[in-house]
Amino acid sequence: MATVVFADLVGSTGIFERLGDETAGRFVTQLTTALSKTFEQHSGRVVKLLGDGLFVVFPRETDALAACVVIQQRLQDKPVYADGGGRGAPVQMQMGLEAGEVVEIDGDCYGDAVNSAARLADLAGADQILTTQRVREALPTEQQRQLRSLGPIYLRGKNEGTEVFRVDWQPERDTDATVMGVSLFKPAKDGVLEISAAGQTLRLNPRGERLTLGRSTTASLAINDSRVSRIHATVEWRGGHFVLSDASSFGTWVYMGNQSEAVVLRRTECYLVGQGQIALGCDRNAEEAPVALFSVKG
């Protein structure tokens, strides 16, 4: 058994475009080297550097989580700027943790835990650490208190929903946390999903036809914005739930209820419950963000 961490630099493509390959490559190398030392100080072994990220394994879940929190806190307390001199946006990391059997071959590591940790890192937003119930169960009570459920989410390559937890490493954000996972493991009562955007409102009944959201005029809900892919996302009734699937180039941000932080989908899926907002191609705070409202009624 091992705990796997994937830590990725957010927005690396933009850094390379701004600084050029040579300067950006030197900066990313320096950053990943510094992060490697922190992981190693917490008993982690860096399996490989991934260009703009790291793949690390730990013998214990507690060490893996502590290392990730330390790195996020340091980046917040002492921001690092790719452009130097405090210009531009500070560096942000997105991280995923999973535990399970790991097979080592010629220095590389393989297994379901490796795949899941990578998917969780893809799913995480900037400054976020995501993990699973398996990791949570192995943590002491103090660390368990840092976790907030985002509910079951379909990770790419898995047939069943995985209960995903966000690590609330910033105590001041605890009041914004939303625990919504437990009831979602039971099929919801038949209801109707309403989605509204651009002056249109669609309704999806259980076992109804799948809906599509996108820039294409053939989409069920057409939204004309350059940040929206032609077929950006789909919504369907599956296994007793309304499931939103991202199929876009830039991702989908889902805000449940009064939750201030989004579940960020990048070719992944999540359940739609209650009511909330779906931002297509950017977060809802972006200028004139293309946002759809959703509500499950009945």
- Domain over 2-184 is classified CATH 3.30.70.1230: yes
Phi-psi domain of 200 (left: phi exceeds 0; alpha: psi -120 through 50; beta: other): beta
Tens of pLDDT along 51-66? 788 999 999 999 999 9
Instruction: Give the Cα separation of 231 and 254 in Å (integer).
Output: 17
Query: Would you say residue 9 has pLDDT above 70?
Result: yes
Q: How far is CA 254 from CA 178, 199, 248, 284, in A?
A: 13, 20, 14, 9
Instruction: Give the Cα separation of 190 and 187 in Å (integer).
Output: 9
Tens of pLDDT along 135-185? 999 999 989 988 988 777 777 666 677 788 989 887 654 333 333 333 333
Whether 71 and 31 have beta carbons less than 8 Å apart is answered as no
How do the domains of the chain map onto residue ranges? 2-184, 192-297
Residue 54: phi and psi, rounded to 5, are: -135, 150
Tens of pLDDT along 176-229? 333 333 333 344 456 799 999 989 999 999 878 899 999 999 999 999 999 999
> Which of 119-155 are b and which e, b meaning 16 or more Cβ less than 10 Å from the residue's Cβ?
bbbbbbbebbbbbbebbbebbeeebeebbbbbbbbbb
Q: Taken in order 284, 285, 288, 293, is the CA torsion positive or negative?
A: positive
DSSP string, 73-87: HHHHHS--BTTSTT-
Tens of pLDDT along 100-132? 988 888 888 888 889 999 989 888 877 889 999
User: What length does the chain have?
Assistant: 298
Adjacency order of strands within the sheet including 241-246: 221-222, 211-214, 233-238, 241-246, 269-272
Could you give the percent of the chain with pLDDT greater than 70? Answer: 89
- Domain over 192-297 is classified CATH 2.60.40.10: no
What one-letter code names the amino acid at 211? L
Tens of pLDDT along 71-110? 999 988 888 887 766 566 788 889 999 999 888 888 888 8
What residues are paired with 188 via a beta bridge? none
